[in-house]
Chain A
């Protein structure tokens, strides 16, 4: 077997919290419904979406492939669901790849809590193995924060 050095990933953990003026059930629907999920999680300015599947069930596999506009490299995201407790918790593992080569594996947990005022507190916890450099965790956190901002717009614009 090969004795060449196998790149070691960085291990990191981060948590993001957001509060939305919508019920946990409403926020959960934005994950569950294919069109809603596509709007806030997948589509975006500056990206060409080459492929996307929605498969929101335990054991389901979602595959997304996309390119920054004008670039020749392709990114892909493979998500597999491990637990879906409606309006409460979503657990998945996802792998991001560039041109077919994985550069991170992550465990992702979304928790939804009622804030007691008709709104929802979302807590997102990610634990991952990242093959890039020391800024990976910070960059991933920033990317996720952007997504949860897009979720805010989705909930507001598509009641």
Chain B
């Protein structure tokens, strides 16, 4: 929905869940480790992600670009706000496409032990800038990405 009738921001909170056959410590490590993220945090095999900067700590920033090889049109600026080892990560993200601001979001990753498995809950509070397209963009991106993460275990 629009943030207000006078705004071009569209807001939505999207919650996705998936269970992984791995301990919370292993799932957390896959989020923390940049080499692992390069493997799983892209929505399809045609997409690559390059990290120009990675700094996984509270107050640290990641600066990455992704897209088809030769056309890394999406840039994501990620700021880590909260990191609780093996339990929770909260970060803010700002996305530009070809230099144009497209979205900002507040994302919480919760990891809950369920026996030998981990239930991951991804809560994404999304502001799509200048139109609602990025709301679906986040769903379209993160749903296959959470599937990819399962291949790490």
Which residues from chain A sit less than 8 Å from chain B, CB to CB? 1-3, 6, 8-9, 11, 13, 15, 17, 58-59, 61, 78, 80, 82-83, 85, 89, 91, 93, 95, 102, 105-107, 109, 111, 113, 121, 123, 125, 127-129
Q: B125 interface residue, CB < 8 Å from A?
A: yes
**Cross-interface CB contact of A1 among B3, B24, B61, B79, cutoff 8 Å:** B24
Chain B nearest Cβ from A137, distance in angstroms: 12
Q: B123 interface residue, CB < 8 Å from A?
A: yes
A61 touches B104 (CB 8 A): no
Knowing A80-B59, A123-B7, A125-B3 are in contact, say whether A93-B92 is a contact too (CB < 8 A): yes
Q: Chain A residues near B85: list those with CB within 8 A.
A: 1
Q: B65 interface residue, CB < 8 Å from A?
A: no
Q: Which residue in chain A gives the minimum CB-CB distance to B13? A: A11
Number of B interface residues at 8 Å Cβ cutoff, please give it.
36
> How far is B1's CA from A15's CA once the two chains are assembled, in angstroms?
12
Interface of chain A, main secondary structure? strand
A109 touches B9 (CB 8 A): yes
Which residues from chain B sit less than 8 Å from chain A, CB to CB? 3-4, 6-9, 11, 13, 24-25, 59, 61, 77, 79, 81-82, 84-88, 90, 92, 94, 101, 104-106, 108, 110, 113, 123, 125-127, 129
Tally inter-chain residue pairs, CB-CB below 8 A.
Answer: 100
A sample of 17 inter-chain contacts (CB < 8 A) reads A2-B87, A6-B84, A13-B11, A13-B13, A15-B3, A80-B79, A91-B104, A95-B81, A107-B125, A107-B127, A109-B3, A109-B127, A123-B7, A127-B13, A127-B105, A127-B125, A127-B126
Q: Chain B residues near A125: list those with CB within 8 A.
A: 3-4, 7, 9, 11, 127
